[in-house]
């Protein structure tokens, strides 16, 4: 549920206080950006088509950009939905940092990280990467808004095209807004766009992975109707070690009339 970019908020806070070093690592922020921490087709047959040819078709990227990311995603079939999704933007820096920093303790147990311990990035650099991912069809990141305020984040990533058409969903919520049904609705809205909308990547399958002890995230997956498929060993690097994860999945055929509409019918 976490996102290692929470560290951006920490470093931003240090720079705002006038400190010349990151409060976490004692390293100097990058002057150029105001602040920065250094951490931071063919089938297989007897005729001799190679199995590698098949795998290449399964994992290839389509040649044209596949994501036409909308300015707003609203819940299909739910006119009075309390939230909307929109792409995370450069202008969100101050508000995003405030929300993410305030929820640091709440989200830190689920915080994914870089096992190679590469250098950190600034918020502006992160935005450039997000736009590049969108243009290449690799993924998209959205803020979750309630009454015009950021209350969380949800992302679609690890997109695979070809014969698989899969992706993964990750999300986090402001602790103040937990328990209001925002997270499962956001997952359902993103699934509707990613699987059924012509502007989306038209995926067949979406996965949600979580630590076995993350009961809140498990309930989100269950509420949206994702099927539990088992445990993956050492699936993701979290808080300094490779951790096993429970995996849930949604298929496009699970809700042909929409995941958000199905979710709200179940809640009625």
The total of structural domains in the chain comes to: 1
pLDDT tier, 60 (very low <50, low <70, confident <90, very high otherwise): low
User: Looking at residue 74, what is its pLDDT?
Assistant: 97
- Give me the CATH number covering residue 64: 3.40.630.30
Percent of the chain with pLDDT over 90: 70
Domain range enclosing 225: 52-267
221 within some domain: yes
Does residue 88 contact residue 157 with C-beta atoms inside 8 Å?
no
**Could you read off the pLDDT of 164-220 as tens digits, one per residue?**
999 999 999 999 999 999 999 999 999 999 999 999 999 999 999 999 999 999 999
**pLDDT value at 3 more than 70:** no
Does residue 182 contact residue 12 with C-beta atoms inside 8 Å?
no
User: Looking at residue 217, what is its pLDDT?
Assistant: 97
The CA distances from residue 56 to 29, 59, 134, 160, in Å, are 42, 5, 22, 11
**pLDDT value at 79 more than 60:** yes
What's the chain's average pLDDT? 83
pLDDT tier, 230 (very low <50, low <70, confident <90, very high otherwise): very high
pTM: 0.78
204 within some domain: yes
85 within some domain: yes
Calculated CA dihedral for residues 55, 61, 66, 69, nearest 10 degrees: 100
Tell me the helices (H) and strands (E) count for the chain, helix number first: 8, 7
The CA distances from residue 167 to 5, 125, 199, in Å, are 20, 23, 16
**Strands of 205-210's sheet, edge to edge?**
84-87, 140-146, 149-160, 166-173, 205-210, 241-251, 227-238
44 within some domain: no
Residue of 177, 267, 185, 171 whose CA lies nearest to 214: 171
């Amino acid at each position: 549920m976490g996102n290692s970019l929470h560290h951006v908020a920490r470093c931003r806070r240090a720079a705002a206080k006038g400190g010349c070093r990151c409060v976490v690592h004692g390293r100097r922020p990058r002057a150029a950006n105001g602040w920065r921490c250094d951490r931071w087709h063919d089938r297989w047959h007897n005729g001799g088509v190679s199995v590698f040819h098949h795998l290449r078709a399964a994992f290839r990227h389509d040649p044209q950009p596949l994501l036409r990311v909308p300015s707003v995603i609203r819940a299909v079939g739910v006119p009075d939905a309390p939230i909307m999704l929109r792409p995370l933007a450069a202008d969100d820096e101050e508000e995003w940092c405030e929300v993410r920093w305030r929820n640091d303790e709440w989200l830190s147990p689920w915080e994914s990280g870089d096992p190679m311990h590469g250098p950190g990035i600034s918020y502006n650099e992160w935005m450039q990467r997000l736009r590049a991912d969108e243009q290449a069809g690799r993924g998209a990141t959205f803020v979750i808004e309630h009454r015009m305020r950021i209350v969380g984040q949800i992302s679609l990533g690890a997109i695979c095209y070809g014969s698989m058409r899969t992706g993964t969903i990750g999300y986090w919520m402001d602790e103040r807004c937990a328990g209001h049904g925002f997270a499962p609705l956001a997952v359902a809205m993103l699934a509707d766009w990613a699987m059924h909308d012509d502007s989306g990547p038209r995926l067949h399958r979406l996965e949600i992975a979580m630590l076995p002890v993350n009961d809140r995230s498990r309930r989100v997956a269950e509420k949206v109707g994702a099927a539990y498929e088992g445990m993956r060993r050492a699936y993701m690097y979290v808080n300094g070690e490779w951790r096993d994860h429970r995996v849930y999945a949604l298929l496009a055929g699970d809700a042909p009339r929409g995941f958000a509409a199905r979710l709200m019918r179940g809640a009625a």
